[in-house]
Amino acid sequence: MNPVLRLILMLIVPVLAGGDLSSGVAEPQRARVAGRVELLNSKVKRNGRVDASGVVVWLEPLDESSARGPRTRQKIIQTGKRFIPHVLAVERGTEVDFPNLDPFFHNVFSLYDGKRFDLGLYASGESRPVLFNRAGVSFIFCNIHPQMSAIVVTLETPYFAVTDQQGSFAISEVPEGRYQLKVWHERTSDQELQAQSRVVRVSGSSCDPGAIRLSEAGYVSRPHQNKHGEPYDNERNKPAYRRP
């Protein structure tokens, strides 16, 4: 057969058979899932308005498992005797750094659900990492300063977001399909959170999962214990400060 004719047939036959001349499989369309969480009966305010930040919203694929890519290293800083951010959501397998930016020692630990760890005492300018390799909610404290607290929510999906002060959230690059939407908030009961779970069908370029309303009725803040399971004793637990 003429070489030119053979080349023409190689190009025409796949088209007639309904084939695709591209070498790869077409990527599914990806959407932006965005919405707002409204907090009811909340006593936590900032600038006179309800602070709706720190609510974790995520999507668990129902049709197929989520694609796992490289994890982006995250950070929770210690400054002014505070953890910033207070709530962090990560995909399982993510490493989080805990740098100490205060001019004195800190001792970061978590002995509750999720990832259990104790970073020990470390000084200003130092940082220590934690690999969050177990799904769950990790409540994090400082063994020296009882007012310090943070939360890391470790998820099995890459599709998640944390609300801002207005309660807004956005999850980008979500492939088309069906998902179970779930939420977590530290001042809302498990029953209330489960009631807000729903199936969401993602298609097109954007998706609004509908109203998400969480009540904080009945929430009572309780003091936590130190890493030894005992009440805080400031005189015993306070090490000598070291200025940078």
pLDDT value, residue 13: 45
What number is the average pLDDT over the span 196-215? 94
What number is the average pLDDT over the span 227-242? 67
Does position 126 have pLDDT exceeding 70, yes or no? Answer: yes
Task: Work out the burial of residue 83: count CB atoms within 10 Å of its CB; fewer than 13 is exposed, 13-18 middle, 19 or more buried.
Answer: buried
Residue-wise pLDDT for 170-180, tens only, equals 999 999 999 99
Pairing type for strands 127-132 and 87-91 reads unpaired
pLDDT value, residue 3: 57
Does position 119 have pLDDT exceeding 80, yes or no? Answer: yes
Cα angle 165-90-75, degrees, rounded to a multiple of 5: 75
The structure tokens listed for 133 are 């390799």
Name the pLDDT band for 243 (thresholds 50, 70, 90): very low
pLDDT value, residue 27: 65
Q: Is 207 helix (H, G, I), strand (E, B) or coil?
A: strand
Residue-wise pLDDT for 81-97, tens only, equals 999 999 999 999 999 99
Q: Closest Cα to residue 159, out of 138, 185, 177?
A: 177
Does position 12 have pLDDT exceeding 90, yes or no? Answer: no
pLDDT value, residue 19: 46
What's the count of helices (H) and strands (E) in the chain, helices before strands? 3, 20
Residue-wise pLDDT for 152-175, tens only, equals 999 999 999 999 999 999 999 999
* Backbone φ, ψ for residue 93 (5° rounding): 100, 5
Indicate the pTM of the whole model: 0.84
Which one is predicted more confidently, 46 or 9?
46
What number is the average pLDDT over the span 205-234? 91
Structural contact between residues 100 and 106, judged by C-beta atoms closer than 8 angstroms? yes
What number is the average pLDDT over the span 232-244? 53
Residue-wise pLDDT for 16-71, tens only, equals 444 444 445 566 689 999 999 999 999 888 888 999 999 999 999 998 766 677 89
Which one is predicted more confidently, 142 or 64?
142
